[in-house]
Structure 1
Amino acid sequence: ALVEKAKTLMMTADWDQALESAGRLQQQEPNNIEALRLNVLFLLSRESRCDAAAEKLQELVAALQQLEPKNHDLVMSCAQLFSRLAGRHKGILAITSSMMERVTHLAPDQAKYLTELGYQQVLLGELPKAEQTFHAAVAKDEEDVRALYGIISCRVQEGNLDDAEEQLEFLSEIQVSVGKSPDLAFLQSLIAWRKRGDVEAALNLLNETF
């Protein structure tokens, strides 16, 4: 009941009451995953206390390994959430990337975990390593579009714009039947700006990402 109460209070932005419920829950169950997740979320999104969040995240990692050692999707969801809220904080990203590295070792045939590890490496600025990881994901699943976008994103950031544009055109042709995705529009916007300096086209493409 305390878990659901804490979640409901968080969704209504009543953080004080949500944290109180999470605190009571942790008193009863020190390794409660939902309470730990809520604490990390609060420290990152409400207080921007990244160092404190990193410490609490380590507790969450230990709890996940103890209580949910085979729940790789749960680990990935935590790594995704907190890495995107971390503001490039190296301590947080070091933890979230290590979470995904462990998952890829435990489930080496799952492309989606390799793809997420690649995005973690991008956030760390490890572009060559990230590109290798995305290629490994595509080798597991040729239809993993997020991994393909990841490869192109790395090449854009590395300045290989001609190569990136060529791959993006090929990918956009493949995706005609499903319509343009926000990721596709965003990468096209980056190329329009970085390669041609076309601010208007870049902004128009950015509008398509919303």
Structure 2
Amino acid sequence: MKYYYRDCLAYIFQTDSHLVCAPRSTFFSTVTNNTINNNVPVMSLKEQEFWANLFYFIREGYPHHAVEYAEKEQKKYSTDPLVKLHLAIALGNEGKLQDCIKHFSEIKENEEYALSCYVSLVTMSKRCKNYDSIAVKQYEAKIREIRRHASDMSLYYTALCLFLCQKYEKARDYCEKALKANLLCREILSLNGWIDLMSKDENLQKKAIRYFEDPSNDEEALNLQCLMGKAKYFQICNSVTSALDKINIAVVHFPTFLPALIEKMKLQLGAQDWDQAMDTSQRCLSIERTCVDAIVFQLLYLLCKTGDRNEGKRKVDELANSLDTSEPFSAEIYARNSRLFSTLCGREQTILQKLCKLAEKALSLAPTDSRYAVNMGRILVLQDRSKEAIRHFQMTLETSDSSVTGLQGIIQCQLVQGMLSEAGTQLEFLRELEPTIGKSAELSFLSAVLARKQGAPKQQVVNLLDEAFELHSKRCQNLQLGFDYFEALNVDFIVQLVKEYLYQAPQQPPASMWLPGACRRQE
């Protein structure tokens, strides 16, 4: 066995910086299933579902849901330090640093979990503005000490924590070291696959599938994490049918596994199968009545598919209640949903008023985050409350002197209020920054509005509108149909673009313009 591992290492790790994996048949062919079973513990379906739930909800940014789920199931796994490790990460991601440290302190004396605890404590501490630098230095010293003799599973747990903290490149380093120590551990292989899927490198994403294959070549083996990984891989590759095939296997064998149904619903939306996606969302809500993603889809269905704004108002209330129950401390989720639907509701004032409360909640949870101040300002602009909006945009300048989005919001309010000279000065400043920050659709649009109000030639205005439309269209080019697509699409922005184009349209069609007979005015 010793020589087998040495040969595998020589074959797989052909470069220092990246893992290059050979076909499975090359290096798994000499290993029997018994060898693999001795190295990798087999989990029951219920256990797989438990760990996959925790992994999914922390990864997808639902830490409070993960905490509640883990605490509910903790009686069954009360002696398992891995549960406490997940709990600590979820609490840290939720912003509850003291509770997070408490859970880490309970398991950091365990040799296999010590490294992951100290690495996570450094990561969590540095999220705070005024963290204890002396304590962090002590943690880092312990990391250097423990890392010299860390086992494969110790390295794996550290990579897992870093991954769930969205430190993907650092997670890769630890995961590759763990893989060098244990080539056949399915958990390590699967985590390496997830790290590649989260990478911005398309080449790594395309090769991630290799890590989700079963190293035992056992076709009957059912691994939930690998099924979910394969589904995500095919989704990234725009192969919706193949992704649905994998998800359906998970749904059949794990009928109460909510993440599989959520992903199935999103894939059906990506395939533009709205009605099937609606059915799946109902299944999600039958398992968990506060399932945020299911309610978000149903609101999307009402606003974009059926156009039922009256029912949409009720659904926004349901969404708000769901967020208050499922993720009451997540500023990002409140902000994301208010941002998405504020551009899709056609400026329906009742809906905007309800979404404004979500944006206010996000800002109250993270008052120093300029992104949430900008989001609040934009919703106020949609409500024709430009004087209040400008105060929120100005807040971003207090935290960052070069807040481009904040300045754009201020210019938009100045144009609404007829302050053309001030808007022109700010636009000129942003235009000078373009070589550094790049062009943006919003800046070109605001320039077009200012040019029109100042009486510039029509062609100049149209050229700026064309530029704004082209820049905006590029944002959606590589996005699949889904929540992110609709947010990037920003329907309200497109409507405002169309209105500006119409300002430049002639009042009457040119005399030489040919019209079909049916369209000609009958004398």
Q: What's the TM-score, normalizing by structure 1?
A: 0.96
In the TM superposition, what whole-angstrom CA distance separates every residue of 1:118-149 from its partner, at most 9, and x where no partner exists?
Answer: 00000000010001111112212222211110
Q: 1:152: Cα distance to partner?
A: 0.3
Shift of 1:175: 2.7
Kept after mapping to 2: 8 A contact 1:51/1:91: no
Alpha-carbon separation, structure 1, partners of 2:461 and 2:334: 35
- Contact 2:374-2:392 at 8 Å conserved across structures: yes
**Greater relative contact order: 1 or 2 (C-alpha under 8 angstroms, separation 6 or more)?**
1
Instruction: Quote the residue 2:425 is aligned against.
Output: 166
Larger CA deviation: 178-187 vs 56-65: 178-187
What fraction of aligned residue pairs are identical, expressed as a percent?
31
CA distance in 1, matches of 2:373, 2:280: 35
1:160-210 deviations in whole A, cap 9, x for unaligned? 111101111012112332332211111111111111242211110011111
Aligned to 1:85, the other structure's residue is in SS state coil
Q: Which residue number corresponds to residue 371 of structure 2?
A: 112
Task: Report whether the alignment pairs 1:184 with 2:184.
Answer: no
Match of 1:16 in 2: 275
* Alignment-mate amino acid for residue 135 of structure 1: Q
Distance between the aligned counterparts of 2:342 and 2:421, measured in 1? 30
What whole-Å deviation, never above 9, does each CA across 1:91-144 have from its counterpart, x for those lacking one? 110011111112212211111101100000000000100011111122122222
Aligned residue in 2 for 1:205? 464
Separation (CA, whole Å) in 2 of partners of 1:177 and 1:27: 50
**Residue in structure 2 matched with residue 141 of structure 1 by the alignment:** 400
Tell me the distance in 1 between the aligned counterparts of 2:436 and 2:430: 12
Question: Aligned equivalents of 2:457 and 2:393: distance in 1?
Answer: 29
| Inter-partner Cα distance in structure 1 for 2:367 and 2:375 | 13
The corresponding residue for 1:65 is 324
Which one of 325, 347, 351 corresponds to residue 88 of structure 1? 347
Gaps of 5+ in 1: none
Amino acid at match of 2:438: G
Q: Which residue, out of 46, 56, 59, partners 2:305? A: 46
Contact 1:10 / 1:18 at 8 angstroms: preserved in 2?
A: yes
| Structure-1 separation of matches of 2:288 and 2:365 | 27
Q: Could you tell me how far apart the structure 2 residues matched to 1:53 and 1:191 are?
A: 35
> Could you tell me how far 1:22 is from its partner in structure 2?
0.5
Deviations 1:65-94 (A, max 9, x none): 111122211211111110100101011100
Q: Are residue 77 (structure 1) and residue 336 (structure 2) matched?
A: yes
Task: Give the Cα–Cα distance (whole angstroms) in 2 for the partners of residues 83 and 181 of structure 1.
Answer: 21
Q: Is the 8 A contact 2:331 2:361 kept in 1?
A: no
Unaligned ranges ≥5, structure 2: 1-259, 471-523
Deviations 1:19-63 (A, max 9, x none): 001011111211111110010000000111112112111111111
Give 1:22-37 correspondences, 5 Å limit: 22-37=281-296
* Contact 2:299 2:316 (8 Å CA) reproduced: yes
Q: 1:155 and 2:414 equivalent? A: yes
| Corresponding residue SS for 1:159 | coil
Distance in 2 (alpha carbons) for counterparts of 1:162 and 1:143: 20
TM-score between the two structures when normalised by the length of structure 2:
0.39
AA aligned to 1:177 is: T
Tell me the number of residue pairs that the alignment of Structure 1 and Structure 2 aligns: 210
CA distance in 1, matches of 2:397, 2:355: 22
Give RMSD over aligned pairs: 1.1
